[in-house]
Amino acid sequence: MLLMLLFAGLLAFGLSQGDAGYVRQNASENFCFS
């Protein structure tokens, strides 16, 4: 349960840093099949 809280905290902190937007941007703009 402590580990779950730790990862939930990481997730929440990442969200507050705008990480989700960075993920979406990279996953939308970069075409990895080259």
Partner 1 sequence: MPRPEIGKWGRRFPTQILSLIAFNGFFWRGPGKWFCVPVLNCYACPVGTVACPIGSLTAFALARRIPFYVLGFLGVIGLAVGRAFCGWACPFGFFQDLLYRVRSFKFRLPRAANALKYALLAVLVLGLPLILGGGKRTGSEDRITGEKTGALDYCSLVCPAGTLEGGVPVLAASAQVRAQASWRTWSKVGIAVAILGLTVLARRSFCLALCPLGALMALSSRVSMTQLHTEDKLCTRCMRCVKVCPTRSRHLPFKEFKTEATAECVLCLDCVRNCPEKGALSARICGKAVSVSEGRIRG
Instruction: Return d(Cα 14, Cα 12) in angstroms, integer.
Output: 5
Query: Which residues in the 4-33 window bind partner 1 by CB under 8 A?
Result: 4, 6-15, 17, 19-24, 26-33
Give the count of residues interacting with partner 1 (CB under 8 A): 28
What's the closest the beta carbon of residue 18 comes to partner 1, in angstroms? 9
What's the closest the beta carbon of residue 2 comes to partner 1, in angstroms? 10
Residue 24 phi/psi, 5-degree rounding, is -60, -40
DSSP symbol at 32: -
Sign, Cα dihedral of 21, 24, 30, 34:
positive
Contact positions vs partner 1 (CB under 8 A): 3-4, 6-15, 17, 19-24, 26-34
